[in-house]
Structure 1
Amino acid sequence: MTTTSLNVALAMGPGVVNRVFPSRRLEALGPGLRLLSPTPMEDFTSPRSLELLAETDILITGWGCPKLDAVALAAAPRLTHVLHAGGTVRHHVGEECWERGIEISTAADANSIPVAEYTVAMILLANKRVLQIARKLHTERAEIEPDQVFPDMGNFGKRVGIIGASRIGKHVIRLLKSYDVRVFVSDPFLDQAAAAALGVERLSLEELVATCDVVSLHAPSLPSTYNLIHRALVASFKPGATFINTARGELVDQDALLGRIEQGDLYAVLDVTTPWVLPADSGFYTHPNVLLTPHLAGSLGMELERMAVSTIEEARRISRSEPLLHRLNAKDLAFTA
């Protein structure tokens, strides 16, 4: 890039820019970068948007960004980079972007950090039987001898199964190295050499589910992964195991999962469900073996700024003619979210 100044524009849904980008970040993009407007485009058809697109070299996108189709790209002849301050770009980056050679970057790595932290916290709590013991204490309101009730409580030597060596799955594995647990992975795209580099052992999905004390799901939501955790797998979970889902609800046969939980020998920590908000009469709300959280594992609150930092640093790398750190390739979409 030989231009002395690159024009940056924003495109995302209502309210997103204020949540993700503190004003001080946008006011100090760095040398060689000029923000065309602090107000993001919410469409690519209005006169204002068409005027901005005509001047844009780098487009920073966020949740709710409109589709970058052929019409939008025709209005943006200078556009060379789309930097997404979020995870997936499936909803707004079309085939036309790849065909034109526009470079795409995401903040998925930044967003993976809080999800992995949440997951590790839940793994440790699950093996320590904290949720069950706390519930018992609240209910009985009397002295409890925890290891008399749960003699298997504790993390030492426990088997933790990770389904999907995704960004998040790999970060969970890295964080778990600090603990005396045995980590196993099931992922069809992970070969033996890659597993060895991660310091984990590969297992088939069936063996992992049947033998691990905690099973955590980190596979992407793709047509091929719909109901990945099907009824037969749910039935084969090790008695007393805990299933953690921070991926997507549609990867799990939820009716089968609830049925197994109602047998009393399976626990679940669910940060995601299908639909996002369960019906008011869902048994997941009331069963004591279930902890529901409202999709809070990912970046929220102060964690959102990490994605802003990652995205702005990508823009700065472009201004310095350096390669993107988090470039996404079209082929990656076949096995990533």
Structure 2
Amino acid sequence: MRAALLMDPALVPFVFGERERARLGEILEIDTTVAATSLASVPDPSGVNLLIAGWGAKIGPGDLDALPGVRGIVHWSGGNGVLDADAAARGIRISTAKAANAIPVAEFTLAMITLAAKDAFWASRRYTSEQRFVDREAELPDTGLYGTTVGIVGASTIGRLVMQRLRDTDVRVLLYDPYATTADAEAFGAEFVDDLGALAARTDLLSIHAPEMPSTIGMVSSDVLAALPDGATVINTARGALVDQDALVAELQRGRLRAILDVTEPDPLPAGHPLYELPNAFLTPHLAGSMGNELRRLGEVALAEIECFVAGEPFAHPVL
């Protein structure tokens, strides 16, 4: 069975280690030293039966016309929009590592929720700038995760994993998702709230996990931000466009809210943007998703799916 890599060539050794590359060579006809960044540049495309796709690939509508023999696509990075829709129409089986990529995002989010509740970022800035004893109970009387309310925006793969892990903590979890139900929320120990503004009004820590699509752009609007209680924290590990960023900046400048942002709009922000300087904003450069050694998890999941495909078995993580 002939296969091709459709991904950024520089990522190949990070995703597929020596063991994985050796195994790919045993079960497939594949050159793991060659990776294309577009379907048009795949060598001898007519004979390719399996496409191993990931970050760095450029795919457009109709591009699969160049690969008439493809019967399976394994995304080590998750789904890929146009490609998925086009492939499904052609009866091509598709697998995704979306669930595996959700793990580090959920881990990062849980860490940010905990540290935000403990005032860790803001206490650290005060401690290092003032260089004095900080009387925790007198100066940080409301600090701690116990008894706080976490609002989850989006019952996505990541949102569900975050809720699942929050069940082991002493917090109240609220869920807003226009496609979810009360039963969905209860399955993860959360309370379903059908209005985002109403959820925000009851939330200490708002964590965003919805996908970016026309209906979700700007969903965390100025009205939603205004509904958050004084001192609430907005945590965004999804996409920057989901938040009215100008309204968020205004709230931060007034000192009313705090924000932990792994994503912004644009991403990265231009030099000199006020979010870089605001003392109640904590920015990270899109670290939450799989990176470094976490990419190996994606490669291992992809290899397992490729083994299934070669054996004629169903994918464990199909795109439905």
Measured against the shorter chain, the TM-score band is: over 0.9
Give the drift of 1:172.
0.6
1:127 & 1:166 partners in 2: Cα distance? 23
Whole-angstrom distance in 2 between the partners of 1:10 and 1:215:
39
Q: How does 1:58-77 map to 2 (within 5 A)?
A: 58-67=50-59, 69-70=61-62, 72-77=63-68
CA RMSD of aligned residues (A): 1.7
Residue number in structure 1 paired with 2:187: 197
Letter in 2 for 1:28: R
Deviation at 1:63, TM superposition (A): 1.0
Instruction: Give the count of matched residue pairs.
Output: 319
Are 1:26 and 1:38, in contact at CA under 8 Å, matched by a contact in 2? no
Structure 1: gaps (5+ residues)? 1-5, 330-337
Query: Match of 1:332?
Result: none
Instruction: State the distance in 1 between where 2:138 and 2:293 align.
Output: 40
1:188 paired residue number: 178
Moved more, 27-36 or 284-293: 27-36
Q: For 2:66 and 2:116, how far apart are their aligned partners in 1? A: 52
The answer to whether 1:314 aligns with 2:297 is no
Query: What does residue 19 of structure 2 align with?
Result: 24
Structure 2 unmatched ranges of 5 or more:
none
CA–CA separation in structure 1 for the residues paired with 2:131 and 2:32: 58
Q: Hey, what's the Cα distance between the residues in 2 that align with 1:96 and 1:179?
A: 43
Q: Residue 244 of structure 1: which of 219, 229, 235 is its match?
A: 235
Q: SS of the counterpart of 1:238?
A: coil
Q: TM-score, normalised by structure 2?
A: 0.95
Identify the match of residue 140 of structure 2 among 143, 150, 155.
150
Shift of 1:31: 6.2
Which amino acid in 1 is paired with 2:128?
Answer: H
TM-superposition CA deviations, 1:137-181 (whole Å, max 9, x none): 111111111121121111111111110010000111111122111
Measure the CA separation in 1 of the matches of 2:266 and 2:114. 27
Local SS of the residue matching 1:29: helix
Match of 2:49 in 1: 57
> In the aligned structure 2, how far is the partner of 1:73 from the partner of 1:265?
50
Distance 1:37 1:157, change over 3 A: closer
Tell whether 2:221 aligns with 1:226.
no
| Aligned twin of 1:98 | 88
Q: Write out per-residue CA displacement over residues 168-201 of structure 1, whole angstroms, 9 at most, x where no aligned residue.
A: 0011111112211111111111112222211211
